[in-house]
């Protein structure tokens, strides 16, 4: 089967979000193309892996010629960036994309932006958050301004999801960061250096329902995250 699009969804201790994610997957409108969704279990120590296996079994009972569901199990957590990049290398689609696995970003947004970039090679697609997010929004703006100043390229909404690009261009991203959340900035920056067309769609980030933020779990982790990104 020719796979048009790979969607990487990183998961670390997201056991309660697996079935809601699967519900979103079943509702995707992909009649005109084939996609694979790769659930990356990034060293989870809760029941994330077990629940992924359950939905894989459920998915295989109902043949869907347009959606392939795959899993990539990493024995040890290799941080947010590392897990996503492993998923990108694992993907078989003509276009590679990623989005969050915490239900704050609908998987449907990936399908929306794919329709804008499909057929283009020198392109980088991304979301642009239109809703204000209080303190999180302030941190994002700080990251955005700082990265633009240091790297010398104007960038906005660096960590908004989803992200998408043509798989042929993966070879350009030779030395990606593999800790914390700098991968989004890196891909955006390298795309600008290579004069890719940047395509954005408006997205809304929802509030997390289950689980907890991995970078705001404690003051120590939060400060470490800020220092690392700087």
Q: Could you give the CA distance from residue 42 to residue 157 in angstroms, rounded to a whole number? A: 25
Could you tell me how many residues make up the chain? 230
Percentage of the chain modeled with pLDDT above 70:
90
171's tokens: 């070879």
Per-residue confidence at 48, pLDDT binned at 50, 70, 90? very high
Q: What is the pLDDT of residue 216?
A: 56
The model carries a pTM of: 0.91
What value, to the nearest 5°, has the Cα angle with vertex 46 and ends 20 and 81? Answer: 75
DSSP class per residue in the chain: ----EEEEEEESS-GGGHHHHHHHHHT---TTS-EEEEEEEES--SSHHHHHHHHHHHHHHS--TTEEEEEEEESS--HHHHHHHHHHHH--SSEEEE--SSSSS-THHHHHHHHHHTT-SSEEEEEEE-S--HHHHHHHHHHHHHHHHHHTS----TT-S-EEEEGGGGGG--S---STT-HHHHHHHHHHHTTPEEEEEEE-PPPP-SS--SSSSSHHHHHHHHHHH-
Per-residue confidence at 102, pLDDT binned at 50, 70, 90? confident
Q: How confident is the model over 172-211, as pLDDT tens digits?
A: 999 898 776 789 999 999 999 999 999 999 999 887 666 6
């Amino acid at each position: 089967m020719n796979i048009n699009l790979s969607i990487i969804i990183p998961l670390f201790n997201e056991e309660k979000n697996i079935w809601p994610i699967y519900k979103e997957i079943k509702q995707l409108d992909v009649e005109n193309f084939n996609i694979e969704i790769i659930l990356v279990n990034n060293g989870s120590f809760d029941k994330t892996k077990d629940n992924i296996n359950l939905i894989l079994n459920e998915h295989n009972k109902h043949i869907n010629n347009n959606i392939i569901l795959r899993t990539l199990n990493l024995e040890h957590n290799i941080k947010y960036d590392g897990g996503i990049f492993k998923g990108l290398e694992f993907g078989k689609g003509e276009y590679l994309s990623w989005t969050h696995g915490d239900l704050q970003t609908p998987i449907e947004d990936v399908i929306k932006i794919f329709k804008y970039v499909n057929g283009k090679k020198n392109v980088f697609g991304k979301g642009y958050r239109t809703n204000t997010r209080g303190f999180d929004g302030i941190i994002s703006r700080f990251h955005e301004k700082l990265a633009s100043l240091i790297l010398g390229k104007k960038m906005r909404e660096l960590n908004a999801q989803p992200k998408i690009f043509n798989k042929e261009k993966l070879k350009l991203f030779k030395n990606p960061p593999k800790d914390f959340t700098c991968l989004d900035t890196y891909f955006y920056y390298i795309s600008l250096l290579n004069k890719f067309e940047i395509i954005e769609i408006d997205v809304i980030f929802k509030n997390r329902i289950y689980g907890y933020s991995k970078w705001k779990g404690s003051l120590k982790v939060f400060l470490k995250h800020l220092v690392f990104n700087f």
